[in-house]
Structure 1
């Protein structure tokens, strides 16, 4: 059985690499461009991809392909409907980021709520040394205790972030789906969360319904001028509108670990404001603690072995059920 990993460079060097117990021929590619996918998957039975897109047109030209292992929870880079049509099983990894993503979200929240970036730069620039007193107040500092944390997305990662917020005395609320006709028990109306939250953290998949879910109307409604945190998917937020919201002081700060295009292109509007003390952009590493990456790898191998035994696990389409 031939196995190809299309973007092996997305797995960190600390991971202890194991391989499936069954006989196989394994090929690693550091990265794969869109025009290389078809050629590299010819004759392959198992494809591993983290972010490389496997489109419908490519899938229809791969009669040998039987399993796609997505090295992530999100699987919007694979055409699931076509996989179902062709009988290709798609398995993702789940639960591996239960600690790392919420911790990263709160690293961003802490840094921005207490203006750590701005104050660190002040010391580097010599501002403290020239202050003439033991401290100074160039940037706002606010407590987390007593503030409202609005969580958009109530899955494992949203709940993990909520638990940390509750531990710090925050008033945590889960947003009902945008445009929902009714509010479920345990949820708060979308508009109320947008209007009243001091911190808003996104933990929802990118789908046609959620793409661009935070844009100009939402920023205009953010009366509390919140910190906006996105450790989920870049396409959830209109990035040009985000820059406008920062310019217009409709939000206090932005902490993003994900962007619409990754790596970002030179025309990404956020790249022009990285020197601001209330903006932090990290390169999609919220998922990548050493512990989480090892768990992810171990799951990938188990999915291949289970598929080989005839019992696919974590199938996201109908083909493996």
Structure 2
């Protein structure tokens, strides 16, 4: 079997992918442009893609047997057409939950604890000039008894809920599908979650019902000083509305995903005036060392399972 990796660079070069050499003949490309995809797919029995798009045009006249997505989201592959051509498509779920939640808490503490301010206070020589032993001019608060509202209580959302409870937070959630019911936490409607939560964290998939789920009208009603996180998918929060809200009221936002990645220079979030209220990171939530190792192992297992069936 010939295995073609289309976007090796997205996995990080600190992670070993030699395991794939035990499963077939491997050809690895760091980056694959849309113009290059069709030819490179044509060479393969099995392709591994993270974000490279594989549709009808790429599938036609190929000898593809298996598409392995090195991610959970599957919107970069035409699943129906692949199925019609007898091509299996396998993704990887659950590998990054701890990583995403850790980044979420890092964002929370970035806003709650004000460590950037206090580090700068010391680094700039101000503490040594102080007349008293302490300096608490930038107020911070405890997480105890704060309400954490989670939008999407899947594997990652549940992981966040469990760890938020360890900080004695009150956890509520909103089910975007309307089907998720979890007796451990209180389920509320979206408006109630947004209006009553001190921290709101988005962990739902992007689909027709969740696109622009958070918009100007409902975000406008969030609590003063609330923290809003999106480590789910770009597009769930309307970015034009969010940029406007940030410049109009006191809301703090940790955003790890945007609607077009890499972020475009015209993205309104890059233009906000109240920059201290916005923490933008380049889609890192999924990418701890441990998570990426698990990802590679699970992709390899998907290939092995496919070969075993053959």
After superposition, residues 263-282 of structure 1 pair within 5 angstroms as 263-273=262-272, 276-282=275-281
Secondary structure (helix, strand or coil) at the match of 1:193 reads helix
Corresponding residue for 2:96?
Answer: 97
Secondary structure (helix, strand or coil) at the match of 2:73 reads coil
Corresponding residue for 1:76?
Answer: 75
RMSD: 2.4
- Measured in 2, the distance between the counterparts of 1:298 and 1:190 equals 37
Q: 1:233 to 1:161 in 2, by over 3 A?
A: same
Q: 1:77 to 1:154 in 2, by over 3 A?
A: same
- Measured in 2, the distance between the counterparts of 1:121 and 1:278 equals 17
- Measured in 1, the distance between the counterparts of 2:111 and 2:286 equals 20
- Measured in 2, the distance between the counterparts of 1:121 and 1:83 equals 54
Is the contact between residue 148 and residue 172 of structure 2 (CA under 8 Å) also seen in structure 1? yes
Q: 1:123: Cα distance to partner? A: 4.6
Corresponding residue for 2:162?
Answer: 163
Q: 1:288: Cα distance to partner? A: 1.2
Q: 1:169: Cα distance to partner? A: 0.6
Q: 1:225 to 1:151 in 2, by over 3 A?
A: same
Corresponding residue for 2:260?
Answer: 261
Q: 1:267 to 1:125 in 2, by over 3 A?
A: farther
Q: 1:241 to 1:275 in 2, by over 3 A?
A: closer
Note the alpha carbon deviations across 1:174-211, whole angstroms, 9 max, x for none. 11328x5x995642112111111100011111112212
* 2:38 corresponds to 1:38: yes
* 2:301 corresponds to 1:302: yes
- Measured in 2, the distance between the counterparts of 1:294 and 1:274 equals 39
Q: 1:291: Cα distance to partner? A: 1.1
Q: 1:154 to 1:183 in 2, by over 3 A?
A: closer
Task: Tell me the TM-score normalised to structure 2 length.
Answer: 0.90
Is the contact between residue 203 and residue 230 of structure 2 (CA under 8 Å) also seen in structure 1? yes
Q: 1:26: Cα distance to partner? A: 1.2
Which piece of structure 1 moves more, 276-285 or 196-205? 276-285
Secondary structure (helix, strand or coil) at the match of 1:234 reads coil
Secondary structure (helix, strand or coil) at the match of 1:211 reads coil
Which piece of structure 1 moves more, 273-282 or 64-73? 273-282
Corresponding residue for 2:53?
Answer: 53
Give ranges in structure 1 of 5+ residues lacking alignment.
312-321
* 2:153 corresponds to 1:142: no
Is the contact between residue 6 and residue 28 of structure 1 (CA under 8 Å) also seen in structure 2? yes
- Measured in 2, the distance between the counterparts of 1:153 and 1:122 equals 38
Is the contact between residue 153 and residue 180 of structure 2 (CA under 8 Å) also seen in structure 1? no
Q: 1:189 to 1:183 in 2, by over 3 A?
A: farther
Corresponding residue for 2:28?
Answer: 28
Note the alpha carbon deviations across 1:94-118, whole angstroms, 9 max, x for none. 2211211111111111111222334
Is the contact between residue 220 and residue 250 of structure 1 (CA under 8 Å) also seen in structure 2? no
- Measured in 1, the distance between the counterparts of 2:107 and 2:33 equals 31
Is the contact between residue 247 and residue 273 of structure 2 (CA under 8 Å) also seen in structure 1? no
Note the alpha carbon deviations across 1:124-168, whole angstroms, 9 max, x for none. 556656666555455441211111000011111000111110000
Corresponding residue for 2:198?
Answer: 198
Query: What number of residue pairs does the alignment pair up?
Result: 306
Secondary structure (helix, strand or coil) at the match of 1:112 reads helix
Give ranges in structure 2 of 5+ residues lacking alignment.
none
